Chains A and B, each alone.
Chain A
Amino acid sequence: MSTGKRKLGTGLFVLFLLAMAFLIVISVSSLYFGYNGYIREEEGYLIYLITGVFGLMLAAYGANQMRSHIVVIQPIEFNVVTLTECEKCGFRNIRKFESGDYVLKTHGDCPKCDGQMVISSIYHEEGQTPGLF
């Protein structure tokens, strides 16, 4: 499976980045003025602080929205293993799944005795969720 990104208009993306940068500059400046006003006990510092906080919240929301529109494909390969078991002595062997494996397929002779090895189960371990993304 390939890795790629969903196409997003470059112009729109640059415009969005510029708007975000502008918003962040305005918000940080506003916070700075608000803080200075508070230190100097000037009137109206609260409006600057509120504007700064809301501006930063808006920037964070915008960035989060943009993130959801950039789709990165992370292919998930399930770690599927094949468990073979000797029908006679119970010797077990776990290895990676190979094409052509299926449950209850006889799979050669047992290395410990002269019994037959049979694929007793094929499964994947926890830790991976189905899906491409």
Chain B
Amino acid sequence: MFSTIIQQIPGEDPIQNIVGYLFSFLMMAIFFLFYNRIQMTMWLREIEGALGRLEIMRNEARRVAITTIKEAGKPENEIDSKVDRILDYFQISPVNLDPSGIVWKLEHLIDVRDNRWKEDVQMMAPAAEKAQINNLENLLQVASGLNLLYRIVRHYYLFGKKMSSFYVIMQLQMLLPLVMQEADALTGALNAFAKGQPIGDGAGALVAAKLMHGKKKKIVAKEVVSADFKLNGRRLLVLKAEGPGGNVGRPGDGIEKLMEDHRGKVSLIIMVDAALKLEGEKTGEVAEGIGAAIGGIGVERYKIEEIALKYKVPLNAVIVRESVQEAIAPMKKEITEGVDAALKRVMQLIEERTSDGDTVIVAGIGNTIGIGQ
């Protein structure tokens, strides 16, 4: 019976052919039945690799933060556990079921958070100066960001693995390039914040700093410095965050104060900021537009838009293009060239859009680390 079946199989060596057919069927069965599992295993391996890198970055950020605080602040006690506690800080967003008034709630929360960070840094680094405290606060924020990224990726990795969820793993694997880009950017910023070097985001602040250099300055809002002077027949009110410590200040409050002080008699507001470039665009390119050029969660932009609307003052924006990595890494030469070009563009705007005797507000937005005034 068996030999009769064997004889029906074509070819010179039927046994070899049977093995071949069985092998092919087996492979097909494996791929049909276990394709998802094989694919998931490959993705999990890829995520494991990324998670390992994130862990190293997080540990490195923690180490740099602790070393810098010890060098700059001369702490009396051990600070490792305090740093760990700060790295785990979280912030609960205000309820948005009734959005009315949410901006002020957000502002209050940001105030509380900023004060808390500053106080903790001051306690850890009693010998640090004001600018150094701002830099250390920024450094801890970078380390905290890396810590959060690591914990989120680890959560979804372990969750997907535990549930054997193809879709959780797939989404995480697809988002990995963006997550790693963010992590790379934060890691690149570590040294800049530790050493107090200007970063790409400071392009706007640098434009304002160059404009107000050598002029008399005063504080107009929390950590915002302003200069009032005449140039080409116009009255310029230039403001930026107070440097050279890492600080973005409250430009919204600063502009509001200047506008109220001048009873809204301002012909033009020009905001200069670094902005994210699209792929293919050159770093340091300058562009011009309309609106409030300022990032963040929107509290400062809200205030600026409100006050501009109240007095019907046109809002103009000048931006210096850069990538997300360049924004928090030490400032590139192309960006410093972009700053000079942006300064020329601001002067051109003032020349074209205002007349002799007009008052113009120029706000340099961004982190002013490593930039004085």
Contact = CB atoms under 8 A, between A and B. Distances in A.
Interface of A: 1, 6, 65, 68-69, 71, 73, 76-78, 80, 97, 99-105, 118, 121-126, 129-133
B244 A129 contact: no
A14 B64 CA distance: 34
Interface stretch (B100-108, B147-155, B161-169, B325-333): B325-333
Contacts of A97: 195, 197
Nearest to B42: A65
A101 B325 contact: no
A91 B64 CA distance: 37
Given A80-B197, A103-B371, A131-B187, A123 B336 contact: yes
A130 B181 CA distance: 10
A99 B370 CA distance: 10
A60 B170 CA distance: 25
A130 B52 contact: no
Closest 4 CB pairs of A and B: A130-B188, A102-B244, A131-B184, A130-B329
Contacts, number: 107
10 contacts: A65-B45, A68-B49, A76-B188, A99-B196, A100-B196, A102-B243, A102-B372, A103-B198, A131-B184, A132-B184
Nearest to A132: B187
Given A78-B191, A122-B370, A103 B53 contact: no
A80 B332 CA distance: 9
Contact of B56 (A125, A130, A132): A132
A121 B185 contact: no
Interface in B172-197: 184-185, 187-189, 191-192, 195-197
Contacts of B268: none
B53 A133 contact: yes
Interface in B99-121: none
Residue of B46, B189, B210, B372 most packed against chain A (CB within 10 A):
B372
Binding site of A, secondary structure by majority: helix, strand, loop or mixed?
loop
Given A80-B197, A130-B189, A123 B372 contact: no
Contacts of A101: 196-197, 370
Contact of B244 (A69, A78, A103): A103
B326 A130 contact: yes
A118 B329 CA distance: 23
Contacts of B196: 99-102
Given A102-B372, A103-B370, A132-B57, A126 B333 contact: yes
B209 interface: yes
A104 B213 contact: yes
B362 interface: no
Given A122-B370, A126-B332, A103 B206 contact: yes
Contact of A104 (B45, B336, B372): B372
Nearest to A78: B330
A131 B196 CA distance: 17
A73 B336 contact: no
Given A6-B56, A104-B209, A123-B336, A130 B184 contact: yes
Nearest to B183: A131
Given A130-B184, A132-B56, A71 B198 contact: no
A111 to B, nearest CB: 22
Contact of B49 (A71, A124, A132): A71
A12 to B, nearest CB: 12
A1 B191 CA distance: 10
